[in-house]
Homo-oligomer: A and B are copies of this chain.
């Protein structure tokens, strides 16, 4: 319904947005985000300098446009792989691992993207929805793990999902944000953190080693 032969206006706008996104991505990849000027993007996209800001609120929003499609692909692929995997931690690593691998392809750009993800006030249609879907899927995995008897059932799936997601956020930030963690340490470190979240740090468990893995 919004597809097919829409009006000329609509088609032009669509095409223009795609040219803008492609131009921005290309330039961000080769020159870096800060080093790319809005004017360069406009020139490459074949539009006037003022036109850009009819399509995006500001330059940072271009980060989201260039990221969104990739993020959805990563998310779908991780979700599919998780469905073929046993064990909550391994499932989560399918999902999280896709993103860390992706971020590693262009660390500088990914840093800017992650900053956008964590610090942009969320409009419901853009970043917000993406994040919410992500959180919901983690909650679904938790719920299934509860049904399998892997996770305690006196918690809402959302609550447990937050606790797990916190580790993903933290390791991502430590690596891309503060740059205090090395890339190689992220996946093993995150995995261990998720395990510790499941096992608990406390001493009120017996047979810890036998029961976990």
Contacts and interface: CB of A to CB of B under 8 A. Distances in A.
Interface of A: 111, 115, 117-122, 128, 131, 149-152, 155, 159-160, 162-167, 169-171, 173, 177-180, 192-193, 196-208, 211-212
Copies in the complex: 2
Contact of A163 (B150, B160, B197): B197
Contacts of A111: 119
B179 A173 contact: no
A200 B203 contact: no
Contacts of A121: 178-179
Contact of A119 (B159, B166, B171, B177): B177
Nearest to A132: B180
Contact of A115 (B115, B201, B202, B203): B115
A206 B205 CA distance: 7
A155 B196 contact: yes
Contacts of A163: 167, 193, 196-197, 201
Which 10 interchain pairs have the tightest Cβ spacing?
A200-B200, A166-B170, A204-B211, A198-B202, A205-B205, A118-B177, A119-B177, A198-B201, A166-B166, A199-B200
A171 to B, nearest CB: 8
A107 to B, nearest CB: 12
Given A155-B201, A198-B201, A200-B205, A170 B177 contact: no
A151 B203 CA distance: 5
